[in-house]
Amino acid sequence: MYTLLSGLYKYMFQKDEYCVLILGLDNAGKTTFLEQSKTRFNKNYKGMSLSKITTTVGLNIGTVDVGKARLMFWDLGGQEELQSLWDKYYAECHGVIYVIDSTDEERLSESKQAFEKMVTSEALDGVPILVLANKQDVELWNCSGGRGWTGWQAYPLWPHLPQTCLSIPDIKTAFSDCASKIGRRDCLTQACSALTGKGVREGIEWMVKCVVRNVHRPPRQRDIT
Ligand code: G3D
């Protein structure tokens, strides 16, 4: 009877845990994304004010429950000297969320280099990657004359206003030579605003689908050795 009840309890309440790394250059919006995710998915979570978040130095950890899956996020610092620590976490991770600051065209090639290094790491072979083109609210706010969110991947509605944010096609073009290195794995580029929360739920739900599906795939090479 005890076994039956404990089995039932586990079936109903136990979560399958997955480790997901949040990577990207400093100031991309990783911590804001983590806080926004916790606020959106965890009932009663009273997070810090998103506008008061400062850049990640070291490591932030957070947990988000989506159905029967529990995502354990590791938000790693993106400063150049901290990037060398990223690969210490690769072996344990089930998914990667790579955050790009879409308003920072100047650092796009630096971000691409960090992405390329990450994606070619053997320890991450087959791991799903969600690329978040963050801070899309900046473009939309400017381009819609302050009327708020108007849709995905929008181009300026008022062409005479300066475009302050890279679009998804811009980012895909800049990262195009990474395409062959991504290999056979789930990879999605998604527009997002960690600050307003647009795109956050969709991104996380996509990641959950991928990590759950991956568990049923044959183990990665690194697991066999
Ligand atoms: P990091 O953890 O990647 O280093 P943070 O980045 O989450 O600390 O964010 C860095 C800065 O970007 C913060 O501003 C934060 O408010 C801002 N930011 C993060 N996401 C968004 C977004 O979606 N839209 C906009 N407009 N800003 C965002 P400050 O001013 O504190 O440096």
Look at residue 90 and tell me if it is in a domain. Answer: yes
Position 10 in a domain: no
Index of the ligand 1 atom closest to the CA of residue 24: 3
Tens digits of per-residue pLDDT, 184-195?
899 999 999 999
**pLDDT tens digits for range 71-92:** 999 998 878 778 888 888 998 8
Residue 183 in domain = yes
Mean pLDDT across the chain, nearest whole number?
Answer: 81
Atom of ligand 1 nearest to the CA of 134: 23
pLDDT band at 69 (very low <50, low <70, confident <90, very high): very high
Residue 11: inside a domain:
no
What pLDDT does 48 receive?
A: 67
Instruction: Check residue 166 and give its pLDDT.
Output: 87
| Dist. CA 103 → ligand 1 center (Å) | 11
Centre of ligand 1 from the C-alpha of residue 27, in Å = 6
Mutate to test the pocket of ligand 1, among 33, 55, 80 (most ligand atoms within 8 A of CB): 55
**Is residue 30, in this structure, part of any structural domain at all?**
yes
- Closest approach atom of ligand 1 to CA 54: 8
Candidate of 23, 26, 30, 32 to mutate for ligand 1, largest count of ligand atoms within 8 Å of Cβ = 32
Task: Give domain status of residue 8, yes or no.
Answer: no
Residue with tokens 């995905």: 152
Q: Is residue 9 part of a domain?
A: no
Tokens describing residue 73: 């996020």
Strand-strand pairing, 16-23 and 69-76: parallel
Distance CA 119, CA 123 (A): 9
**Which tokens hold the place of 223?**
């697991």
Half-sphere exposure of 169 (CA within 13 A, CB side): 4
Give the residue, 168 or 9, on which the prediction is more confident: 168
Of 127, 117, 108, the closest CA to residue 175 belongs to 108
Those residues with Cβ within 8 angstroms of residue 201's Cβ, 6 or more apart along the chain or in another chain:
40, 41
Ligand 1 pocket, mutate which of 137, 195, 196 (most atoms under 8 A from CB): 195
Share of the chain above pLDDT 90, in %: 50
Residue 4 lies in a domain: no
Band (pLDDT 50/70/90 cuts) for residue 53 is: low
The arithmetic mean of pLDDT across residues 38-61, rounded, is 74
Containing domain of residue 34, as a range?
16-220
pLDDT at 134: 95
**Distance in angstroms (rounded) separating the CA atoms of residues 95 and 112:** 18
Question: How many domains does the chain divide into?
Answer: 1
Q: How far apart, in whole angstroms, are the C-alpha atoms of residue 97 and residue 205?
A: 12
pTM score of the predicted model: 0.83
- Asked if residue 139 lies in contact with residue 102, where contact means CB atoms within 8 angstroms, the answer is yes
CATH number at residue 23: 3.40.50.300
The answer to whether the beta carbons of residues 117 and 105 sit under 8 Å apart is no
